[in-house]
Amino acid sequence: MSDFARRFLGSRSGMIGLVLLVLLVLMALSADLLYPQDPWRMAGRPNLPPFTEGFLFGTDQLGRDVAAGIVHGARMSLMIGFASSVAAIGVGVVVGAVAGYFSGWVDDVLMRLTEFFQTIPSFMLAIVLVAIFSPSLESIVTAIAVVSWPPIARLVRAEFLSLRQRDFVKAARVGGHSRTNIIVSQILPNALSPVIVMASLMVATAILIESGLSFLGLGDRNFITWGFMIGAGRTMIRHAWWLSAIPGLAIFVTVLALNLFGQGLSDVLNPRLSRSTRT
Amino acid sequence: MKRLLSAAILSVATAIAAQAQDDPQTGGTLNLVVQPEPPTVMLGINRLGPVSYVGSKIYEGLVTFAPDMTPLPKLAKSWDISDDGLTYTFHLQEGVKWHDGEPFTSADVVYSFGEYLPEAFSRTRGVMDRVEEISAPDDRTVVFKLKEPYAAFMIIFDSTGGTIVPKHIYEGTDIFKNPANETPIGTGPFKFDEWSKGRYIHLVRNDEYWQDGRPYLDELYFHIIPDANSRAIAFEQGQVDVLRGGDVENIEVNRLGDMEGVDVTTDGWEFYDPLAIINVNTRHEPLDNPKVRQAISYALDREFMIDAVFGGFGKPAYGPMTERTPYYDPEVLTDYSFDMEKAKALMEESGVEAEGGVYATLDLMPLPYGETWQRHGEYIRQQLKEIGIETNVVSVDVAGWVERTTTGKFDITTNFTYLLGDPAMGVGQTYRSNNQLNRGTAANVDGYENPKVDDLFAEGARTLDPGKRQEIYSEAQKIISADAPVIWSHQMEYPTVYRSKIHDLITTAPGLNEGFADVWIEQ
């Protein structure tokens, strides 16, 4: 583990990503301390520009504090990003592991199902799902998870297909381990490193999908989110550019942080892969 | 001497310029925007905003209305109303032809009101129930006999409520599926030419229009531009000449209006007379409590809402009518000026129990008509929170909103109604107890029941004497305003942005839903 940490500390992009991410998480966690008031509250005069006294990022059309929205929005964006990624990884790992370990007709059925989901453009499917189940926090997390699991499933399956032929798996089988035991404690730990890398990137994608949904008015209107702020500011863009630009910047920084972090993980966990891509 | 001469030349030149200003010029293309793209332009079967905008150039009614709601001749040259208010005799224009060349006669009017419109349009069907008989003594005369007097009867004869359709095309057919709906045939100043879906609708001059020398314009293009920002840019770049209220965000209107050679007007909505309201379902607790409803009304800063959300267009409304509505009486209304202390006090007095400072948690469903209404809903949500009413925001599409609103599946929703020029037509429908669910979004979806109000509206519709009607409607306004069965947001004002070179664009109460026979462009 210390070896892992040392190598990660040596990865510059990974460290930048990690620091940004920690800052974002801290910001999200301390939202209620930084801005204890409701972010929807009308706090000042409408359309104040950034750096007006008391309003770091200015105010929007209804006089709501943009900075409060950014901080509280971070909580929603990260929460939705992590929750939907965890769900997607859960489904993806189970499907991929079962398909890869058993192969044969089980593999065929599961992979056709995976391809079915992969052939539909994921953002379109997410829109349809949210529209059908009416926009709420749960339906948005579910929709993002539903469109995100197939790549994980395919990745895990590929790992399993190659690992199940290895000697240590054969030894476990001969040693009388149960199938579940072999899958969970023998193969899975060895298949996890690419999954972890992909997961960090998936959080970024999930945040982008959620922002897109909110932008289109399919977010949960009971919570403030960055995508909603951009969508609401869009009609004002010629009068108050910061209403769209600042939450846009927030999404950009978050997604960048996750990507850098993912790159760092990849460097550490798949040294051969990253070296070969570098040359 | 020289100075005198130049002064003379100047004055002559000015006179010529003035002359040029006053005399309509023939020719030219008018570029308009229709949004969203209408499902049809056959005005008889559909009266949604975009359909009415295009269809009113192709089809006509018997009359139109001056801004003060005085009827003006259209397909009817003149009319007589008997003293008892029971017999309406219309004398039709001479030499009117349908766009396919067939002559227009009284038989078309009898068919339109006797068969077509009652099938196609519930509002006209409702009014026609009051009619005992429609007859045509000759080709140019139509007589309506009423069972009892109805003060708002003339209102149904405008082109959008009383569209005159060709009998020779529609008689005996399924009016909704008739293939002729794709190639509309009317009597209006413009004929349907082409509809390039997703791009534009093209109308051309009707050379055989019954009014000599009209229309002045050669053709109309209704451009279909789905995005509000693109519509603003299209106007700035000169691709379109007129923007209707709602085509661009109100906040953009002020910017576009400041451009050189551009005018802005809020005229032309006297007939539709839109009133923004907040429906509160009085079937649900605690909205059945008048004090709670009054508290909500006091909690809204209407001036702020109009300025911040609606770009400064609108006026606060404290009752069921606007200052454009005949028989509006501001004296009798409860003054719901913003007063948060009073709102909180009313909540305390209401007898509704609060748990942890929260009196109730209700669903709030904003009207899904674009961002402006979302901001409006967000503002209302914050103000309700201040007085201890928590809300869950329910987002729905337009179809879902109509379904939930008309079937009473809501707690609070934002909405707007058209008051339609006479309280007997557009106002009463929102408050009469016999007009509740499944009767459109302007009906009494709130479930308000007050026999006194029912009686007053029935009486007002029957009464012809304006003085007596004023008394009746003043009393109705007083009761309704105090009861607050809906929360009135504001009298809506739709700005029309247009190039100054376009003359006589809006001269009547229906505004842009007029036929455009008199519109001309200074070359």
Question: What DSSP character marks residue B153?
Answer: G
Nearest to B251 among A38, A63, A239 (CB): A239
Residue B134 — left, alpha, or beta (φ > 0 → left; ψ -120 to 50 → alpha)? beta
* ipTM surpasses cut 0.85: no
Question: What DSSP character marks residue B206?
Answer: -
| Separation CA A27–CA A21 (nearest Å) | 10
Q: What domains does chain B contain, in order, with CATH numbers?
A: 2-183+495-521 (3.90.76.10), 274-492 (3.10.105.10)
Between the CA of residue B369 and those of A63, B271, B393, B397, B420, what are the distances in Å?
A: 22, 21, 15, 9, 21
Q: Is the CB of B375 less than 8 angstroms away from the CB of A131?
A: no
pLDDT of residue B108: 96
Query: Which residues on chain B are in Cβ contact (under 8 Å) with A244?
Result: none
Between the CA of residue B138 and those of B109, B143, B412, what are the distances in Å?
A: 12, 10, 53
Residue A161 Cα, gap to closest chain B Cα (Å): 45
Q: Is the CB of B397 less than 8 angstroms away from the CB of A38?
A: no
Residue B392 Cα, gap to closest chain A Cα (Å): 6
Q: Is the CB of A232 less than 8 angstroms away from the CB of B249?
A: no
Q: From the CA atom positions of chain A, what is the Rg in Å?
A: 22
pLDDT of residue A1: 55
Tokens of A68: 């409060």
Q: Is the CB of B375 less than 8 angstroms away from the CB of A238?
A: no
Inter-residue contact B215 to B205 (CB < 8 Å): yes
Nearest to A62 among B308, B385, B393 (CB): B308
| Separation CA A234–CA A244 (nearest Å) | 6
Tokens of B170: 């529609």
Nearest to B249 among A42, A218, A235 (CB): A235
Closest CA to B456 of B436, B479, B439: B479
| Separation CA B27–CA B299 (nearest Å) | 53
Could you tell me which residues come within 8 angstroms of residue A263 by beta carbon, excluding any fewer than 6 positions away?
Answer: A11, A13, A14, A17
Beta-carbon contacts below 8 Å between A and B? 53
Give the chain B residue whose CA is nearest to the CA of A39: B382
pLDDT of residue B380: 96
| Separation CA A48–CA A31 (nearest Å) | 22
Q: Exposed, middle or buried, B151 (CB in 10 Å: 0-12/13-18/19+)?
A: buried
Q: What DSSP letter does each residue of B249-295 carry, written as one string? A: -HHHHHHHHTSTTEEEE--S-TTT-EEEEEEE-TTSTTTTSHHHHHH
Residues forming a β-bridge with B200: B196, B223
Tokens of B12: 């002559």
A237 touches chain B (CB under 8 A): yes
Residue A271 carries which side chain, given as an amino acid letter? P
Inter-residue contact A226 to A211 (CB < 8 Å): yes
First to last CA, chain B: 35
Please provide residue A37's backbone torsions phi and psi, each rounded to the nearest 5 degrees.
Answer: -75, 160
Inter-residue contact B187 to B97 (CB < 8 Å): yes
Tell me the mean pLDDT in the region A108-125.
92
Residue B293 Cα, gap to closest chain A Cα (Å): 22
| Separation CA B238–CA B433 (nearest Å) | 50
Q: For an interface test with B, which of A37, A59, A222 has the most B Cβ atoms less than 10 Å from its Cβ?
A: A222
Q: Is the CB of B374 less than 8 angstroms away from the CB of A238?
A: no
Q: What domains does chain A contain, in order, with CATH numbers?
A: 3-278 (1.10.3720.10)
Tokens of B237: 């770049």
| Separation CA B378–CA B381 (nearest Å) | 5
Query: Which residues on chain B are in Cβ contact (under 8 Å) with A217?
Result: 374, 395
pLDDT of residue B11: 54
Inter-residue contact B34 to B53 (CB < 8 Å): yes
pLDDT of residue B454: 96
| Separation CA A23–CA B177 (nearest Å) | 63
Q: Taking the CB of residue A49, how many other CB atoms lie within 10 A of it? A: 12
Per-residue pLDDT of chain B (523 residues; tens, 9 = 90+): 455 555 555 555 554 444 555 789 999 999 999 988 898 999 998 888 889 999 999 999 999 999 999 999 999 999 999 999 999 999 999 999 999 999 999 999 999 999 999 998 888 888 999 999 999 999 999 999 999 999 999 999 999 889 999 999 999 999 999 999 999 999 999 999 999 999 999 999 999 999 989 999 999 999 999 888 899 999 999 999 999 988 888 888 888 999 999 999 999 999 999 999 999 999 999 999 999 999 999 999 999 999 989 988 999 999 999 999 999 999 999 999 999 999 999 999 999 988 888 999 999 999 988 888 999 999 999 999 999 999 999 988 888 899 999 999 999 999 999 999 899 988 999 999 998 988 888 889 999 999 999 999 999 999 999 999 999 999 999 999 999 999 999 999 999 999 999 999 999 999 999 999 999 999 8
Between the CA of residue A42 and those of A33, A35, A65, B246, what are the distances in Å?
A: 18, 13, 7, 25
pLDDT of residue A221: 83
Q: pLDDT digits over A222-251, tens only?
A: 889 999 999 888 888 888 889 999 999 999
| Separation CA B176–CA B106 (nearest Å) | 23
Could you tell me which residues come within 8 angstroms of residue B40 by beta carbon, excluding any fewer than 6 positions away?
Answer: B46, B51, B181
CA dihedral angle for residue A169, residue A172, residue A173, residue A176, rounded to 10 degrees: -170
pLDDT of residue A272: 62
Q: Taking the CB of residue B445, how many other CB atoms lie within 10 A of it? A: 29
Tokens of B281: 């379902």
Q: Identify whether A194 is preceded by a cis peptide bond (ω within 30 of 0).
A: no
| Separation CA A220–CA A218 (nearest Å) | 7
Tell me the mean pLDDT in the region A51-78.
90
A63 touches chain B (CB under 8 A): yes
Q: Taking 80 as the threshold, does the pLDDT of residue A93 lie above it?
A: yes
pLDDT of residue B7: 52
Q: Is the CB of B395 less than 8 angstroms away from the CB of A217?
A: yes
pLDDT of residue B218: 96
Closest CA to B68 of B429, B328, B283: B328
A62 touches chain B (CB under 8 A): yes
| Separation CA B100–CA A48 (nearest Å) | 59
Inter-residue contact B56 to B159 (CB < 8 Å): yes
| Separation CA A242–CA A233 (nearest Å) | 8
pLDDT of residue A275: 47
Question: What DSSP character marks residue A42?
Answer: B
Alpha-helical regions (H) of chain A: 2-10, 12-29, 31-34, 66-102, 104-119, 122-133, 137-163, 167-174, 179-181, 188-215, 226-234, 242-269, 271-278
A102 touches chain B (CB under 8 A): no
Give the chain A residue whose CA is nearest to the CA of B376: A62
| Separation CA A226–CA A230 (nearest Å) | 6
Q: Identify whether B286 is preceded by a cis peptide bond (ω within 30 of 0).
A: yes
Q: Is the CB of B309 less than 8 angstroms away from the CB of A62?
A: yes
Residue A236 Cα, gap to closest chain B Cα (Å): 8
Residues forming a β-bridge with B72: B64
- What is the pairing mode between strands B486-491 and B242-243? unpaired
Q: Is the CB of B395 less than 8 angstroms away from the CB of A218?
A: yes
Inter-residue contact B289 to B387 (CB < 8 Å): no
Residue B305 Cα, gap to closest chain A Cα (Å): 9
A61 touches chain B (CB under 8 A): yes
Between the CA of residue B111 and those of B119, B368, B375, B383, B413, what are the distances in Å?
A: 11, 37, 46, 52, 39
**Exposure b/e, A143-177, CB count within 10 A at least 16 = b:** bbbbbbbbbbbbbbbebbeebbeeeebeebeeeee
Q: pLDDT digits over A161-186, tens only?
A: 888 888 888 898 888 888 888 888 88
Q: Which residue has the tokens 């409304």?
A: B317
Question: What DSSP character marks residue B354?
Answer: P
Residue B386 Cα, gap to closest chain A Cα (Å): 10
Distance of CA B270 to the CA centre of its chain: 8
Tokens of B90: 């219309």
Query: Which residues on chain A are in Cβ contact (under 8 Å) with B379?
Result: 42, 62
Inter-residue contact B136 to B143 (CB < 8 Å): yes
A132 touches chain B (CB under 8 A): no
| Separation CA A100–CA A90 (nearest Å) | 15
| Separation CA B114–CA B98 (nearest Å) | 19
| Separation CA B211–CA B209 (nearest Å) | 6
| Separation CA B50–CA B35 (nearest Å) | 6
A230 touches chain B (CB under 8 A): no
Q: What DSSP letter does each residue of B107-151 carry, written as one string? A: HHHHHIIIIIHHHH-HHHHHHHTTEEEEEEEETTEEEEEESS--T
A279 touches chain B (CB under 8 A): no
Per DSSP, chain B holds a count of helices (H) and strands (E) of: 15, 21
Q: Is the CB of B395 less than 8 angstroms away from the CB of A134?
A: yes
pLDDT of residue B523: 85
Q: Taking the CB of residue B386, how many other CB atoms lie within 10 A of it? A: 14
Q: Is the CB of B371 less than 8 angstroms away from the CB of A62?
A: no
Residue B78 Cα, gap to closest chain A Cα (Å): 48
pTM of the model: 0.83
Closest CA to B99 of B180, B212, B17: B180
